[in-house]
């Protein structure tokens, strides 16, 4: 609603909060079917447009007991209707959610990624959606519940109990344990040629040449 303010009013948007709050409380809610003002006071607010056209509330009475009786009855009816409407909307939203969700049931030892919920600095568009460390499923909390207990695959760190929506299966990723077990060569050794092997080959070649030379000289002397 603050976007509806003019450019001059946006600089001092705090001064318009009382008007926007009154407009919000006077608007009919789609879920309950009533405005927050009506559910709190039992009647609709008198707006400036009502005074402009001379519209007066109907059913006025001077008897206080009669007013209280009529007001309490109207409030009970309004609350009952609002409760039924809220229940219907909640059931409809549940059906829509369950119709779109196609969750895969996880099993113990399954490898998953955990949603990155840690607030970080900078723009949110550049943040990783999933944590770097891979977790494994320990067990399912409940027989048919969507909650799982997971632990880090490396074994370091505590276990977490998370909803299925925060887990992403990643069995296709390479195992980190296999990568860690392989010895990593130092940077200066990666580009260094195998000098020892070359020296041994050269020595063997020199011995072979010397042997051939010796045999050749022996044959010529004969």
Provide the pLDDT for residue 220.
47
- pLDDT tops 60 at residue 218: no
Residue-wise pLDDT tens digits, 70-107: 889 999 999 999 999 999 999 998 888 777 666 678 88
Provide the pLDDT for residue 179.
45
139, 162 in Cβ contact below 8 A? no
**Domains of the chain, earliest start first:** 2-54+62-97 (no CATH), 102-174 (2.30.30)
- pLDDT tops 70 at residue 201: no
What span, in angstroms and rounded, lies between the C-alpha atoms of 216 and 164? 82
Higher-confidence position of 99 and 19: 19
165, 104 in Cβ contact below 8 A? no
Provide the pLDDT for residue 126.
60
Residue-wise pLDDT tens digits, 138-167: 999 888 788 999 999 988 888 999 998 899
Residue-wise pLDDT tens digits, 47-65: 888 888 887 766 666 678 8
Alpha-helix residue ranges (DSSP H) falling in the chain: 7-10, 17-25, 36-41, 48-52, 64-100, 176-181, 187-190, 195-221
140, 147 in Cβ contact below 8 A? yes
Average predicted confidence (pLDDT) for the chain? 78
Beta bridge partners of 135: 112, 152
pTM of the model: 0.46
């Amino acid at each position: 609603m603050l976007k509806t303010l003019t450019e001059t009013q946006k600089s001092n948007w705090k001064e318009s909060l009382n008007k926007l709050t009154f407009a919000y409380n006077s608007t009919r809610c789609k879920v309950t079917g009533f405005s927050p003002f009506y559910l709190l006071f039992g009647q609709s607010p008198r707006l400036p447009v009502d005074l402009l056209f001379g519209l007066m509330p109907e059913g006025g009475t001077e008897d206080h007991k009669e007013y209280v009786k009529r007001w309490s009855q109207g409030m009970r009816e309004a609350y009952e209707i609002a409760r039924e409407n809220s229940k219907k909307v909640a059931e409809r939203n549940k059906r829509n959610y369950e119709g779109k969700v196609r969750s895969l049931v996880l099993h113990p030892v399954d490898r998953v990624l955990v949603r990155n919920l840690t607030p970080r600095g900078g723009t949110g568009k550049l943040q990783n959606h999933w944590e770097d460390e891979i977790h494994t499923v320990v067990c399912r909390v409940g027989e048919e519940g969507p909650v799982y207990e997971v632990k880090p695959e490396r074994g370091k760190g505590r276990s977490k109990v998370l909803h299925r929506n925060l887990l992403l299966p990643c069995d296709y990723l390479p195992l980190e344990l296999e990568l860690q077990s392989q010895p990593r060569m130092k940077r200066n050794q990666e580009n260094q040629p195998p000098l020892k092997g070359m020296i041994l080959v050269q020595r063997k070649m020199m011995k072979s040449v010397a042997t051939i030379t010796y045999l050749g000289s022996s044959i010529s002397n004969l």
